Each structure stands twice: as structure tokens, then as C-alpha cells.
Structure 1
């Protein structure tokens, strides 16, 4: 079985399980599963389901839409529309470019119809097609491009994009295919953009003059380029936000719109743009260089990613509409680093972090190698949860801090080991960075932020975590992780139960889930009591009284979301507003009397936190003492002598290392062991252990006064 066939088999099993558990159609489960990939890959910011496929409404021809990418005013005028090509088959199916018109033209016909008030007004306001039509009518004057996205669980075997589609006349249409193979590549490696190869001479006028900024044989190739504004605008117009590293894009969009000052310079003083602007920092998988009469130039760039300069790029692109005549006078510098794909996870975040130092929160807070994510990953591999009632095996929750960790970890195992892995890490207990952000922000009373999409929500969450982590990382301990899993259990349970409710009419499930969870936490948490999260992670299930409370809140959330105030028609956009959350928060719910059994006194929750800290301190102390003893007295004698000879030890260091060197006659305490290991770490940064010799000279005996100063408090 090939990797693609195995991926398809697992994908279909997941989709069918999700559809059966939640009572939804397989195509809906497929859309939900793949929408987040589109956002994470930078194809769109957010994907809202909007299933509409009646028969024969356009001269006997089909109309169809399965989703849309939010308000085009939030994405530089790009209207994103999504259609699913889903085959409920056990074998990998294929389709070619000759099939594309048949799939996309019903979407284009829908767009034509949706632009008319007659079509919109013929629909019920609760109909998803009404929501999309109203949004299109409201924003059409500001739409600069229509992006059609074909999402399929079949394999696309077309080799070019020369496909004749229906035309809408006044606005350009682009299209892209996300097929089974592309999703498989993305899920294994987080990469699905190998088709972004920019040919400057062939497609954009001329190669880019460049200066090589790295020596031959250097670890990484680097170049300095001067990019004409017209070329940068044209390149961005074709590929859009896919050129902006997804996490950095969200990071910037969460804080500011396109810089008005940059746009003013383009309009009024375009020739001063180069000296005024700091330029762009970018990475690429590969570049192709040519020699011109003027010297070295770059002819093509593979997988260009602008890691700093999103606002500059967006402003220059906006000049296509607002200052086209000035763009020939605009130039911007670019620092381009060629990073091999196998090193991108380590190198690109650092480039972005250092390039974005002017921002309040470092861009590195978003990346998978931030210490917060590493710690969560460590907990997820080690923390065991007791088997649920009726099940035999204890399990763990698998935190995927970077795309592909789960599928690749499993693929490296033998069939027997895979069975053991599946028992230890059930697929239903896999969660990602964006999932974590949804769980946390739902519980924290930010459902309107969650409703803005996985990436925007994650950006705001990362901002909070980055600031809190910089103050103190101590709160993010094992108990914090266990309580996070409790929130995951609540969120996932609601996701499966909401579609089964008699009041559920389809659509807005994601909004209902986050609002319901936020409402229950809001009602439960007060000055003296809070929701008992510890009981949930211990049982790995949701207590019955809490289930009833969550469904009561979900029904209320559904009512508020689907009945927006006068003048507001798009319910998905309404759910993104603080006012929507205020409306639900203010409503009084009549919870059952036994809801109180799901609460715990705040003081008791704090005691559990203190107990966890004490347990952690004791464990760390035991581990430190064990490590010191394992290294042995002779080793510590060498450490002491090396530090004394170079005068690198404080009196306190000397005293504690002397105790370690006299083992087993004297044993260091937990605190002393910690101090000895810290001193060892410090000496290693100064060269200890690098093969340098040291004398056997001993430190001078401590005076009584200095010994008193060095006394360790236990």
C-alpha cells in the first residue's frame, strides 16, 4: 500500500467516524476537516461552511457552493468561494483538468445568481446561500478578485491550469485545487506549496538584479535584491497571502491594518519609498540565477515566503488600485535567504523573530519551536490518563506542535507497534496548536475571537501566551496541561452532540460550540467557585449534569447567533462580534439543580494547584539529587578544581561542590543538588568539558566569615 493509499484509508475512516458520531453528512465532515488546512497553509484566512446545491435553478443547470472565505473586506478584496468534490469510496479515485469545469462552473453560476437581490430575497434568511448572497451584494463594489477553491478527496492528475471556465466579466477569477495528494503532503510535512515557482523573466518582465551576500560553501545562501514595486505587486496579485508565512501573516493582521503611512509615501513620494522603507525579509526553497549585462540576477524563486514585510507588500499591492501610475517609481529592498526544506522549521522562525523585533510580541511566539509548545508536547508524550469507564487501556493525548508529527511518528513503526501506538494515542485524542487555542479561548470567554477563524484566534492566543510566558512560565505546569485536556474533552463532546439536537438546523456548528462552552464557564466560574476541571480529566468524560448545562447553553447560543439584531444579516460575521458574546453572556439560563455538583470551591482548586507545585518541586529535587549522585564524587572533584583554578566559583559554589566531591561521606540536599547542577551548567558555557586540562589545585579554605555567607538554607 502506498503512502497516498494509506492516507486515503485513514482519512475516510476518520470522516465516516465523524459523520456517524455527529450525525452529519460525510461531505460536511470532510469540509470541516480540511478547512483548517486551507487556513493554516495560507490559502484563505477562514472557511465557513455554506452547503447549497438545489437542482435546475439556472436554466436546468446546477448551482452549488459548499463554503466561503469570510468577508472580502478583511482579505484585500479577495472573495473566496469553496466547492467540495467528495467521493465516498474505499479506493483512491482520480480526476483531470477536463473534470474541473464540471465541478467549478456550478460555483460560478451560483456567484452570478448570488449577485442579484432577486435571488437573495427568494431565499429564507436562515439559508446559508442567503448569507453568502447578502455578503456578496454588500461587498461586491470592493471585490478585486474571486478565488475559487476546489477541495477534493480524489487525486488530481491535471498538469496545468489552462482550463476554460465560465466568465463573470468584470472581476478576474483564479482557481486552485486542493486534492488528496496535496492534503497528504501538507499533513505529513506542513508543506503544500511546491507549485509556487515565480519566473520573473518569463511572467513578470525581467529577472531581479541581485548581490550575493554569502560566501561559497556557506551554510545558507543569501542575496540582496532590489525589487520594482510593479513586479512585487503583480507577484502578490497572483499568489496573494500564500507568499506570507501563515503565522506571521496572522500575527500582523491581528494587530494592524495595512500601514496608511506606507500608502501615503507610494502616492505622494514614490521615489522616496526605497530610502524610507526597511524592506522585506524573505526565504525560499531554491533560486535560479542568471548573468545579465548588469551582473547577477535571479530568474526564478521556488516557494518564496515573506517573513517580514507583510504590511509593505500589502501596501504596494494596494497601489495597483490607488496609485498605479506611481508604482514604476517604487522600489523595495529584499533580503532573501535560501533555506532547504529540511531545515526550515529551525531557521525560518529565527529569521522571522529577529526581523520582527519592532513588534511588541516576537513572531517566534507563533512557531512550533517556542518553549510553550515544546513543553506541551513533552506533557502529551508522558502524561497518562486513566481509561474511561468501560475501556481497558490508559491513554495519552497527542499534541502536534508542528504539522505531520502524528502521521510520521506512526509511519515509522512496524504493524505491531502501530497497534500499540493506536491504543496509546487514539486518533480522537490528537490535537494541534490551533485546537489548543480554541479550547483555551472558548473557556476564557473569547468565543467571538474563536469564531474569527483558527489562524486569527491562534494569533490572539499566542499574543497572550507570549506575554504571560515572558513574565513567568511556572503556571504552565502538568496540572495546567491536564486542565487543558478537560477543556478539550468538553469541546470535542459538544462538537459531536450539537448536530444531533432537534433545534439544530445545520450551519454555525463551530460558532455554537465555542459560545456554549464559553457560556457554561462564565456561569460556573465566580468569586467562590469554579468548574471542576480536575474531575473531568480524571474520568476522561463529561458528567451528565454538565452535559445538560452545555446543551442548554448551546440551544441559547444557536438562538442568539441565528437571530442577529436589525440590520445584521450575515450570521457568521455576527458571531465574530463582541456584541454577540455580550448578548449570550447576559442571558440567564436555568441550569438543573445538580449543576452545582460540577463545581468546586475556588480555594479547593487552588489547593490542588499548590499540591501540584509541591509535587513538582519534590520530583525535581529527587531528580537533581539522583543526577548529582550518578555523576560521582570524582567528577565533582574535577569540576571543583577546574572552577577554582580559573577563579569562576563563588564561595557558595565552592562549599556546595565540596560537599558533592566528598560523597558518600556527605550527601547534598535537594536544593544543594540544584545549585551544583546550575554551577556545572555555568562552567560548561565557560569551557569545562571541552577537553581542556586542569590542575589538581584545590580551592583555598573558606574563612569562617565567607563560609557563613555561603551557608545554604535548606
Structure 2
């Protein structure tokens, strides 16, 4: 049975109600944070900060995010928790955007901040808008609605607000439905080059034979590329490249120097760009073939080049006329994009080995975490008979895809075994982990930057030893998820909580507890949390007491800092909190400290889990090796030998594999064969 927009509306409404109840939050908060997270996951925005302000003077705002490139995303909600799906008219849209622009104008020109409470989120936003007056390059005005947009209004033209270029975006329930149900699980960019730039982009077909993917070689004008990046930003970048840029963060100085000093040599010096698309339209003219339209352009290698062109043009006022970038564009239809695009991205990024391997949703780390999530049953909670699972969505849309071909009865069973509140994504995972093991500012810097930080750290640890990422590690992730979400719920329910900065308070509360426990040489008993599928009253009280003290600290930033959320992104904020650890430690009860594990117990637990994982790795390696036929191993042997890529040891073990089942490789030999499979894969041999 195919889901309709009406069905989606009712399902989405139930998600919001359940989320609000689970987090002791207002329904509007749950709605905006749910949609905000959705847009962050798909790359439409870099981050989301909830901030609700509504004034009698016709002003309203419900969220925002400042990016590093002079951009501001401002959100306004159309939400009344309606019970039936209704229509959103042009009048409604224009009124909502008018309220949002009025808030922006009052903040920028009329000193709105002076009329607001200095510890409120709206004060911080209004002050930040005023303080960044000369730095704002563009503003995205985003209307989020629980209604469905009238067919008479599909889009609104770009414009200006107070002299700042402005784009208008409407995310109604139908658009959210289309995004969730699309195969690629993100909204595809539709770039009409003739409409945007007056002409198509010259190209040469580069595909031969009927089985080849259509591909083109393009000499892309740098100004066009910079303009596209300025308008669409991270939406142009394939997810792994986006994470890579978040990890790097800085303009490539070599690219910048060439643009400024030797623009005529840019094409010769630069490696160019690799990109993919779902479809293209071409037109043959006097000067040959030209691409006039590209649907879902995704840069899979060359994000640094693209971003550097844009930043150098803006910051250095460099002229990009006469600068061109070579682009290889492959057309991959949406049905195969999930498998083919990551491979293109991986191979195109081989010069950045750590960056290429660590960010992929199909990397061994993420695959292993997914395997645990599908296999491990969480203990039944008190009063409940049925055990459940924690569904790890390593690739966007897996949770929906897993249900797409099930009957209604099978769907009900799936949801009972894999409850939606127990589904978590890669960015959720990074958030749960980094507050305990890294600098908490990363969580406050937004989902993309935080995931990039986590991926780089875990990538390095995985290379040293993958045995630490075992069943206990997965159970610890779930325990940390339970603690994180319990803290969110507790903060929302506190009498002192004013509706703002919850994400900041939660991140620093858990970081403070982590630091205190670490300095004591002890550890949280995550096994107890996993077994109970929740935290006890002692832990809840600790979270309540520490979060109140953390809130009191962060809402008093040093002089000259007006936005508390921005303050929470700085190193100095965490340094200040660390300086008060003794005060925080006194708030923890003897019962809480008594529940902690000793360092010896924790080390013993981790060591035991590593040994078990090592055994599991050996069994898995043998299973994979025995599942490959002898003639396939012979093919690997022939290709790698011809190309002189085999060591004597590898050749000898392959000789054994070629004789299966007469001879069976040992566990250690199977581990070598698994590495040989990877080597063969890079040479184009797919097993």
C-alpha cells in the first residue's frame, strides 16, 4: 500500500506528539526541532538552533543558524498541531514571511535587542544580527508548515531584505513527504543554466558503448561554480565531501594564491572536479554541445576547490573572469545513486585516504555498528514483555526503506521491534559520543562539524585497532543515547528553564559529569543503563543539579559576548566550566558516586569485549572467505600477480584459497585474504 501525503501528515503528527511527550517539550519545539534535524541531515542547512519569539508588532521567528560563510538561515513556523491536513495559501505564506522579515529588520535597523531579556535566545539572535550587520552576505528565509502548499504557489523569487540578498524557501508537509519518500532521501537541485546564466555550459561526451554511464567532460567557468556555491552552499556537495570540508574548514591557500597571482595557470595547476547528476539536458549549438540543465548536481571530489573559488572571490574581491575548472560529470540514475555515488566519491578521493574512508556510510565501522543494531535485542523495560532493538541508520532513509515492501501487519511488527524513538543516525551517534569523549563545543557547532570531528577521531582509532569497536561499544552508545535523551527531557521540565539553549545545556552537563568521573579515575556503569534501558533516580537527580548549575554559568558570558549559543561554541566556555569542577562535583551525591565503576572494573570489561570481538572477527573472516568460490580466488591471484601487487606471503595464501574445499585457510590466513579482497577491489576485481 503506497503512502499518501495525507497518511504522511497523520504519521508525522504522531511523531511530533510522541516527541513532545518523550522530551517534556512543547509541540512547537518538537515540530521545529524535528524538521530542523531533517533539513540538517539532508544538507539543506548546516545547523538549526530553536528560538521562538512572537511579538504583537507583527514579528516572529522560530529558529536560526549562522554559517561560516556570511549566511543566515531564519525559520518561521506555521504550526497549530492541526488534526487534519489543510491548505497553505499565498496569503498565509506572505504573512508568515512578513513577520520573519520584520524581525530581521527590527534586529538590524531598530535595535530590537534593547527591548529583550538579555538571557533569552531571542536577545542573543537579535544582537548577533546587529553585530554581524556588515558581514551578512545572504539570508535564507525558511517557512516550515504542517499544511500543504496550494498548487497556485510553487516558489517565490529571490529578493533583498535591508539590502541583504534573500531567498525564500517553503517546506510544507508535501515537500517533507517527497523528501522522505524519495529514493535518494534528499531534495535534488534542479539547475537550469540557461535561466540562471543565459547560456548552457560547453561539454564533450565521454561515454562509449551502451553499457557505460553517460559522462561528460566540462570546462566550467569558475565564476559559474562560485555563484552556484554561493547560492546553494553545502547542497552542492556529496555528504562525505561536505563532512571533509567541515573537518578542514580553511580556504586552500595554494588555490587562493593561484587565483590571485596566476589566474591564467589555474586550469593547468588544478586537479579539477568530479561530479555526479541524476540527469542532464543538452543542446547542440554553433559552438557544439552544451549542457543546459543538471538535476541533482553533486560534487564528489573538488569541494575544496569550489569553496576556495567562492571565498577568494568574496573575501579578496578576486576576479574569476577567464578562470576555468575541468569537471568530469557522470550521470547516475536515482535507483543506483546510493551504491554508485559513494564508490565514485571514494575512488576520486584516494589522495585523501583518511578523509575518503572515514566519512562513508558504508565504511567498516558504520557497517559493524549497523550489524550490532540489527542483531542485539535490548532488554525489555520494566512492565513490558517484548524486547526491542535500537535501529542504527548508517545511510539516510534505511528506517523507511526497511518498511517500504512490508505488509501493514509486517510494518506493525517492525515498528514494535524497532520503535521510532530508538532509531538513531550517524549524526546522532556522533553527538552522543563527543559530549563524553571530546570537546563539547563540537556538539554546539552543529551536526555536520560534530560528525566530521567524530569521524576523523574514530577513523584514526579504527586504523590502530578495530577490536575496540565491539558489542560493548555499541551497548555503550545506546546507554549514552538514553542518558542524553533523559537529560534533554529533564532540562525541558525544570522550573528554571526558559525555553532556550537546551542543546548547549545538555552538551555541557554531560561533559561536566564525564570530566568529574574521569578525574576520579572511575567510569559510568553503562552496562547498568543498558540493562535497565534507562537511568535511575540517583542519576536523574545528578543531571538535574548539574544542568541547573551549568545553565547559571553559560548565561553569564564575558563582557562583549551577546549570543549565548555562540559563546557555547568557543573553547573558553568549556575552560571556564572546567575551572568550576570542584563546585560541580559537590553537587553529586554519595549514591551517584557509589554507582560508578572503578577504573579496574572498566578496563577488565573493555578487555573482555575486545577479546570477544577478535574471535568474532576471525569467524566473520572465515565465513566471508569460505563464501567465495575457488575460481574467484584464482581470478584475484592472476590480476594481482600480473600487476606485481602480491607479496610472497599473500601469493602462498591465495594458492591455498584456490584449492578450497580440499584445503581450508586458517583463521589468520583468512584475515590476510580479506585484506587481499580490498586490494583486488581497488584494481577493479569485484567479488
Task: Answer yes or no: same fold by TM over 0.5.
Answer: yes
Residue of 350, 356, 359 corresponding to 1:363: 356
CA contact (8 A) 1:190 1:402 kept: no
Give the counterpart of 2:370 among 371, 377, 401. Answer: 377
Unaligned runs of at least 5 residues, structure 1: 663-667, 688-714
Could you say what secondary structure the match of 1:328 adopts? coil
* 2:603 paired residue number: 606
Are 1:213 and 2:206 matched, yes or no? Answer: yes
Cα distance in 2 for residues equivalent to 1:322 and 1:401:
37
- Is the deviation greater in 325-334 or in 509-518? 325-334
Deviates more, 1:82-91 or 1:486-495: 82-91
Q: 1:562 aligns with which of 545, 548, 555?
A: 555
Distance 1:198 1:527, change over 3 A: same
1:48 is aligned to 2:44: no
Q: Secondary structure at the match of 1:52?
A: strand
Tell me, yes or no, if structure 1 residue 397 matches structure 2 residue 398. Answer: no
Q: Which residue of 2 aligns with 1:592?
A: 589
The equivalent residue for 2:683 is none
In the other structure, the counterpart of 1:172 is: 165
Corresponding residue of 1:315: 308
Shift of 1:481: 0.7
Aligned partner of 1:703 in structure 2 is: none
SS at match of 1:287: strand
Give the secondary-structure state (helix, strand or coil) at the position aligned to 1:513: helix
C-alpha displacement of 1:63: 0.4
Asked if the contact 2:111–2:130 (Cα under 8 Å) also holds between the matched residues in 1, the reply is: no
Task: Tell me the distance in 2 between the aligned counterparts of 1:50 and 1:284.
Answer: 36
For 1:477-496, list aligned pairs within 5 A: 477-496=470-489
Give distance in 1, aligned partners of 2:677 and 2:457.
34
Does 2:70 align with 1:69? no
2:287 counterpart (291, 294, 309): 294
Match of 2:27 in 1: 26
Deviating more after overlay: 427-436 vs 187-196: 187-196
**Is 1:520 the counterpart of 2:513 in the alignment?**
yes
Q: 1:276 to 1:417 in 2, by over 3 A?
A: same
Note the alpha carbon deviations across 1:651-707, whole angstroms, 9 max, x for none. Answer: 999999999859xxxxx9xxx7535756987999999xxxxxxxxxxxxxxxxxxxx
Q: Does the 8 Å CA contact 1:52/1:65 hold for their aligned counterparts?
A: yes
1:3 corresponds to: 4
Residue equivalent to 1:240: 233
Specify whether residues 99 and 358 from structure 1 end up closer, same or farther in structure 2 by C-alpha distance, changes over 3 A only.
same
Instruction: Provide closer, same or farther for how the CA distance between residues 582 and 686 of structure 1 changes in structure 2, counting only shifts above 3 A.
Output: closer
Q: Secondary structure at the match of 1:361?
A: helix
Shift in alpha-carbon separation, 1:197–1:23, aligned structure 2, 3 A: same
Cα RMSD (Å) of the superposition?
3.4
Instruction: State the alpha-carbon separation in 2 of the partners of residues 323 and 519 from structure 1.
Output: 42
What runs of 5+ residues in structure 2 fail to find an aligned partner? 642-647, 681-687
Q: What residue is the counterpart of 1:473 in the other structure?
A: 466
The answer (yes or no) to whether the contact 1:530–1:601 under 8 Å persists in 2 is yes
**Shift, 1:596, TM fit:** 2.0
C-alpha contact (below 8 Å) 1:105/1:166 kept by paired residues: no
1:101-180 counterparts in 2 under 5 A?
101-116=94-109, 118-158=111-151, 163=156, 168-180=161-173
Mapped contact 1:247–1:459 kept (Cα < 8 A): no
Aligned to 2:644: none
Q: How does 1:331-346 map to 2 (within 5 A)?
A: 331-346=324-339
Report the CA distance shift for 1:612/1:277 in structure 2 as closer, same or farther (over 3 A). Answer: closer
Could you say what secondary structure the match of 2:424 adopts? strand
Aligned mates of 1:332, 1:512 — CA distance in 2: 45
Match of 1:699 in 2: none
Number of residue pairs matched by the alignment? 662
Tell me the distance in 2 between the aligned counterparts of 1:195 and 1:657.
Answer: 46
* 3-state SS of paired residue (1:296): strand
> What SS does the aligned partner of 1:135 have?
helix
Please say which structure displays the higher CA radius of gyration: 1
CA pair 680-447 structure 1, distance change in 2 beyond 3 A: closer
CA–CA separation in structure 2 for the residues paired with 1:653 and 1:317: 50
The 3-state SS of whatever aligns with 2:541 is helix
Report deviation, 1:620. 6.7
Moved more, 387-396 or 358-367: 358-367
Written as runs of structure 1 = structure 2, the 5 A alignment for 1:540-689 is 540-587=533-580, 588=582, 589=584, 590=586, 591-616=588-613, 674=667
Q: Distance in 1 between matches of 2:255 and 2:669?
A: 54
1:247-326 equivalent positions in 2, closer than 5 A: 247-318=240-311, 321=314, 326=319
The TM-score normalised by the length of structure 2 is 0.88
| Structure 1 residues 127 and 596: alpha-carbon distance in aligned structure 2, compared to 1, 3 A threshold | closer
When normalised by structure 1's length, the TM-score is: 0.85
Distance 1:176 1:195, change over 3 A: farther
Distance 1:210 1:601, change over 3 A: same
1:477 CA displacement: 0.8
Distance in 2, matches of 1:681 and 1:353, equals: 19
Following the alignment from structure 2 to structure 1, what is the Cα–Cα distance between the partners of residues 80 and 486? 27
> Could you report, residue by residue, the CA deviation over 1:153-201 in whole angstroms, capped at 9, with x for unpaired residues?
2222346666479963422211111222222233344746656222222
Cross-structure match for 2:446: 453
Change (3 A) 1:682 1:334: closer
